[in-house]
Amino acid sequence: MGLNIGRKLDFLMRLSGTQNRVLGKALSFDASYVSRIRSGKRTLPRNRNLIIPIAAFFARSIDQESQTAVLAKRICPEEPWPDLVEERTKLLARWLADTKNIMDEDVSDLLELDIQANLKNAYKQEKPSGSEVVEFFYGNAGRRQGVERFLAEAYEADEQVTLLLHSDESMEWLYEDPDFVKDWSKLLMGILEKGGKIKMIHTLRRNIEEMMEAIRKWVPIYMTGRIETYYCPRIRDNIYRRTLFIAQHHAALVSHSIVNTKSAMVNLLIRDKSAVNALEDEFFDFLGLCRPLIRVFNTRNVEDFLHTYSEFTKADDNTIMLRSLPSRCTMPECVNESMAERIKHAIFKQETDRLCARFRSHLDKGHHVTEILQLKSIDVVRETLPPIPFRDILGQPELRYTVSELCRHYENIIEMMERYSNYHVFLFQSGDSMFDRKYLAPFDTSIPHMENIMLTVKEQTGVLMYNAGDRTTAFFTDDMESTLSFWDYLYRFTEGEDRKRTIERLKAYIEELSEGNTP
């Protein structure tokens, strides 16, 4: 029963894009318990009838035509999906409780097949009338329409398509409509799932808010490992701007503007093969002037990551870190030993010892190290904390702080602040302005593993961004313009240091966190 209900629950949550914490809150459950039910490690509690509440939750949250088509195929293939929520709830409840209806073991592959098969119908665009080889679209709304048609045609192609993308125009058209963001993300993912690839030339002369927003939206695309990113190091006037999106051998979307033109600029969707070939040549000529920009790491390129991570942590440099968990560099020996013993993993302790030694060496040499720490609410800490980063890349079991370990770590941070004048700590909580800014808000609910972002910037070395979550995705760049942009962005929040006040806040936080806790 446990494994079967887990597979069905996982299917519904993936189909609806529901996070563990969202369902947990609806059912008054811990998010980690929901995770264990999904994995089959736990079953539904015997003392509570949760089938009906679960069914009612998904009867309301699964309401898009593309979603209900997938669900109907699973549950009632011979009948249409009901319109009334009450009928949907009954149908889902019967399916969840039916122990004879076994969910396929490899549900992830089956779900991908369902979504992929349905994607074509969900986003199929009407072909232009006649034999038009050029279509015109105007303004931001027109560009969104043109991009959606451009991507839909690339998705519908009978062959694997490579997309060549570059734009140094304003990106307002892309992010001002949340529904459109979801649409183009699905289409891009559909193209990549069919074996397509993306070559993208990024524009670095954007403000930091745009950069953070762009990273946030592109995370799931980067995770596929089928995207190559570049930048042009040469100086450009940044006045005359251009967008060039090409689906190789198929079509191209082109536009121009002057600085941040607000007028209804024209966008051309071109299908003439000779014109598309000429634009491809233009793109590759530009690409020849570019350098690789962002390197993406996950479990598919572990050795490359370990080498980059080692060189990055060894670099003697001034450092600023933005973190939702304390750094392993400041982990006290007692916590390191406690965690290593709990997971029976000696390499964890050795790696932590190495990081701590390098960290102290940087400080002893006079480099400044600054941590900007998010203090999680007491309720969140007691309920569940994200796992320690990199455990999947390092081949380690899942590992989370206990409350007593977290308290001891914060105590060690206070001790280090008192010992090193060049070690600085700044605190922010969910009510502080820094956390509330839209470009530091939690990542999209469709990307739950990127909620707890970690950002480390070394002033003359590069930027490493990664997540504390079940699956690690890390981004690294040593481009100096990007590095200085991130450095300046974080540095703004480190002015007006009050070490005494920070230590007092940490002590009060530790005291509140320790109340009623049994080590």
Distances (CA, A) of 172 to 84, 242, 252: 38, 14, 20
- pLDDT for position 496: 82
- pLDDT for position 218: 66
pLDDT tens per residue across span 312-343: 999 999 999 988 889 999 999 999 999 999 98
Region 200-221: mean pLDDT is: 64
138 vs 255: CA distance, rounded Å: 10
Same domain assignment for residues 385 and 509: yes
* Domain assignment of residue 128, yes or no: no
Same domain assignment for residues 175 and 30: no
222 vs 466: CA distance, rounded Å: 12
* Domain assignment of residue 349, yes or no: yes
pLDDT for 408 beyond 90: yes
Average pLDDT, the chain: 80
- pLDDT for position 416: 96
* Domain assignment of residue 426, yes or no: yes
pLDDT for 462 beyond 90: yes
Task: State whether the Cα torsion 306-337-359-459 is positive or negative.
Answer: positive
- pLDDT for position 445: 33
171 vs 213: CA distance, rounded Å: 10
* Domain assignment of residue 109, yes or no: no
Region 461-486: mean pLDDT is: 83
450 vs 472: CA distance, rounded Å: 8
H/E element, 257: strand 251-258
269 vs 153: CA distance, rounded Å: 11
Same domain assignment for residues 80 and 142: no
Same domain assignment for residues 288 and 305: no
Of 293, 316, 343, the position where a domain reaches its end is 293
pLDDT for 497 beyond 70: yes
Same domain assignment for residues 85 and 170: no
What is the number of other CB atoms lying within 10 angstroms of the CB of residue 439? 15
Region 184-192: mean pLDDT is: 86
Same domain assignment for residues 339 and 428: yes
* Domain assignment of residue 405, yes or no: yes
Same domain assignment for residues 362 and 483: yes
Same domain assignment for residues 366 and 502: yes
- pLDDT for position 126: 45
393 vs 311: CA distance, rounded Å: 17
* Domain assignment of residue 118, yes or no: no
CA 514 to chain centroid, in Å, comes to 32
- pLDDT for position 420: 96
Structure tokens at 338: 């406690």
State the DSSP code for 225.
T
- pLDDT for position 163: 96
Cross-strand partners of 465: 455, 475
* Domain assignment of residue 122, yes or no: no
Boundaries of domain holding 443: 298-514
Q: What is the DSSP string of 455-477?
A: EEEETTTEEEEEE-SSS--EEEE
Residue 177: give its domain's CATH number: 3.30.870.10
The H helix count followed by the E strand count for the chain is 20, 15
CA 519 to chain centroid, in Å, comes to 34
Of 83, 104, 125, the position where a domain reaches its end is 104
Same domain assignment for residues 178 and 325: no
- pLDDT for position 441: 34
Same domain assignment for residues 79 and 186: no
Query: Are residues 215 and 179 in contact, defined by beta-carbon separation less than 8 angstroms?
Result: no
Q: Nearest Cα to 142, choosing from 265, 270, 271?
A: 265
Region 6-11: mean pLDDT is: 83
* Domain assignment of residue 449, yes or no: yes
Same domain assignment for residues 302 and 281: no
Same domain assignment for residues 314 and 233: no
Of 293, 325, 359, the position where a domain reaches its end is 293
Structure tokens at 137: 């679209």
Domain count, the chain: 3
Q: Nearest Cα to 196, choosing from 115, 279, 116, 107?
A: 116
pLDDT for 353 beyond 90: yes
Q: What is the DSSP string of 16-85?
A: HT--HHHHHHHHT--HHHHHHHHHTSS---TTS--HHHHHHHHHHH--SHHHHHHHHHHH-TTSPPPSSH
| SS3 (DSSP) at 343 | helix
Q: What residues have CB less than 8 Å from 231, skipping those under 6 apart?
A: 201, 202, 203, 204, 290, 291, 293, 479, 482
Region 465-488: mean pLDDT is: 81
What is the number of other CB atoms lying within 10 angstroms of the CB of residue 140? 19
pLDDT tens per residue across span 49-63: 788 888 888 888 887
